[in-house]
Amino acid sequence: MPEQKNPKYHLITYGCQMNKNDSERAAALLRGIGFSPTVRPEEADFILINTCSVRQTAEDRVYGQMKHFARLRARKPRLLLGVTGCMPGRDRDGKLSAKLPMIDFFFPIADLPQLPRWIAEHEPTLVQLTDAPEDYLKISPARQTSRQAFVTIQTGCNKFCTYCVVPFARGLEKNRPLAEILSEICVLAEQGCVEVTLLGQTINSYRAPDSDNFSSTNPYFSTGSRVAARDAMSSTGHFAALLWEVNQVPGIERVHFTAPHPIHMTAEVIDALALPKQVKFLHLPVQSGSNEILRRMNRRYTREEYLELVRRIREKVPDIALGTDIIVGFSGETEEQFEETVELYRQADFDIAYIAQYSPRSGTAASRAFPDTVSREEKKRRWNILQKLMEETVLRKNQFLAGKTVRVLVESVDERGVAEGNCEYMKRVRFSSSTDHRSPTTTGDLVEVAIMLAREWVLDGKLV
């Protein structure tokens, strides 16, 4: 069999930032065994889709894509097809894989280190076999930018919200060692990274398996602080202590994290929001404003407790921007319960919200226990009401930044010289990349921009 030279892979990613970070690891693994990337599926020798299972529409897209790639393989018989991520992770009975008979590899992301061996068993000429770590999180990601990076500190979840597939798709909570996390961030800083986003399913429940590696000067850890001793240290104390450690890394200018759970937003974590390198944005999912719906969702807090949490956060960081997730039309949600969500939105005064129409997921407690009684039309109506409220709120709240100067990490500069990036409030800023007094701004620069006009989704500014 002739030797294959320069095999290519095409990688498609659906879903959250953690999926994107997982895909960076998959890319690094494939490059390590001799593959190079291509944006053209028809050029690929291996196509891999990293999937999301949050909603049915996300899985439907995978089925559609794979039907297309199956037709492509009819013209290119040696093309290999793979699916990883949340779909295989939650496929306990084989029903999902049965719908994809054309797939060569169908595996949860934790099995990523096995991929080189599987490819070699199908097409030995494609692979330059090398040793891969047993833990996929030890694979160094192939990041697309040197200035920003996602750093996964935790996978899986122990909360078992009744609507959610994550504990089934990704398993129970597993926390990475502190030393491993800090080593990765230090290397990133040495390579020029200035912004890190820490990732976890309920990230503020993080508990370091190697707590001896916390600095003796860490105020959230050492004896005499609010968290008095290592043996008594709560998991939320661990997360606050981790934020402090990351804030000490030279070269890192901005620290962000997602997504926390309200029940772990204790005094230590709230206090850590004011650390000097923390962005002034917090995404804190609420899901519903109805106590009865929250109970059926197994969210473990009440609307009153959530609103008190918002009050305490704003007391500590008055100008913080708050984002959230909301599900409308959850099983049995009445009009009155939906109105409670609308009222909570007004009281919390969120800067942004990601609003989803409830989609029953097979295997979850909600799909077994609660009939999906809200019609698709009614879910859409409720979505529109909240979406309109969000757009009005976003426009009003963005006026706070008009006339102020913010720091923007430039993510792109177009052919006209217009630069874009997020400021410390995680709001999008657009401005001319040059002035009469300085050289043009380029991608990756961290610059000061005066906001001239605040709109719903973009703040127009002028380079200072």
Is residue 226 scored above 60 in pLDDT? no
Domain boundary among 399, 418, 446: 399
Same-domain pairing of 75 and 98? yes
Domain count of the chain? 3
User: In this predicted structure, what is the pLDDT of residue 437?
Assistant: 64
Which CATH number does the domain housing residue 337 bear? 3.80.30.20
Quick check: is 217 in a domain? yes
Quick check: is 3 in a domain? no
Quick check: is 223 in a domain? yes
Is residue 229 scored above 60 in pLDDT? no
Quick check: is 1 in a domain? no
Same-domain pairing of 250 and 174? yes
Interatomic CA distance for residues 183 and 78, integer angstroms = 40
Interatomic CA distance for residues 169 and 109, integer angstroms = 9
Same-domain pairing of 123 and 154? no
For 317-336, write each residue's pLDDT tens digit: 999 999 999 999 999 999 99
Same-domain pairing of 300 and 410? no
Mean pLDDT of 240-261: 97
User: In this predicted structure, what is the pLDDT of residue 82?
Assistant: 96
Quick check: is 53 in a domain? yes
Taking each continuous run of H as one helix and of E as one strand, the counts in the chain are 14, 18
Which CATH number does the domain housing residue 70 bear? 3.40.50.12160
Lowest pLDDT segment from 24-38, 234-248, 283-297 = 234-248
User: In this predicted structure, what is the pLDDT of residue 426?
Assistant: 97
Percent of the chain whose predicted confidence (pLDDT) is above 70: 95
Same-domain pairing of 198 and 314? yes
Grouping H, G, I as helix, E, B as strand and the rest as coil, residue 1 is coil
**Neighbour-count burial for 327-349, b at 16+ CB within 10 Å, e otherwise:** bbbbbebeeebbebbbebbeebe
User: In this predicted structure, what is the pLDDT of residue 232?
Assistant: 40
Same-domain pairing of 443 and 367? no
Same-domain pairing of 173 and 48? no
User: In this predicted structure, what is the pLDDT of residue 5?
Assistant: 67
Quick check: is 168 in a domain? yes
User: In this predicted structure, what is the pLDDT of residue 56?
Assistant: 85
User: In this predicted structure, what is the pLDDT of residue 126?
Assistant: 87
Same-domain pairing of 225 and 178? yes
Domain boundary among 137, 153, 176: 137
User: In this predicted structure, what is the pLDDT of residue 438?
Assistant: 66
Quick check: is 270 in a domain? yes
User: In this predicted structure, what is the pLDDT of residue 234?
Assistant: 47
Grouping H, G, I as helix, E, B as strand and the rest as coil, residue 290 is coil
Same-domain pairing of 173 and 69? no
Same-domain pairing of 266 and 160? yes
- Whole-angstrom CA distances from 145 to 1, 150, 184, 241 are 38, 10, 15, 27
Work out the pLDDT band at 58, boundaries 50, 70, 90: confident
Same-domain pairing of 174 and 216? yes
Q: What is the mean pLDDT of the chain?
A: 92
Mean pLDDT of 80-101: 93
Contact partners, residue 126, CB within 8 Å, separation at least 6: 4, 7, 34, 35, 45, 46, 80, 119, 120
Which CATH number does the domain housing residue 438 bear? 2.40.50.140
Mean pLDDT of 332-341: 98
Work out the pLDDT band at 227, boundaries 50, 70, 90: very low
Work out the pLDDT band at 380, boundaries 50, 70, 90: very high
Is residue 439 scored above 80 in pLDDT? no
User: In this predicted structure, what is the pLDDT of residue 55?
Assistant: 83
Domain that holds residue 75: 8-137
Same-domain pairing of 80 and 171? no
- Work out whether the CA dihedral 344, 348, 349, 355 comes out positive or negative: negative
90 and 47 in contact (C-beta within 8 Å)?
Answer: no
User: In this predicted structure, what is the pLDDT of residue 422?
Assistant: 98
Lowest pLDDT segment from 22-26, 145-149, 308-312 = 145-149
Domain boundary among 137, 159, 178: 137
Quick check: is 51 in a domain? yes
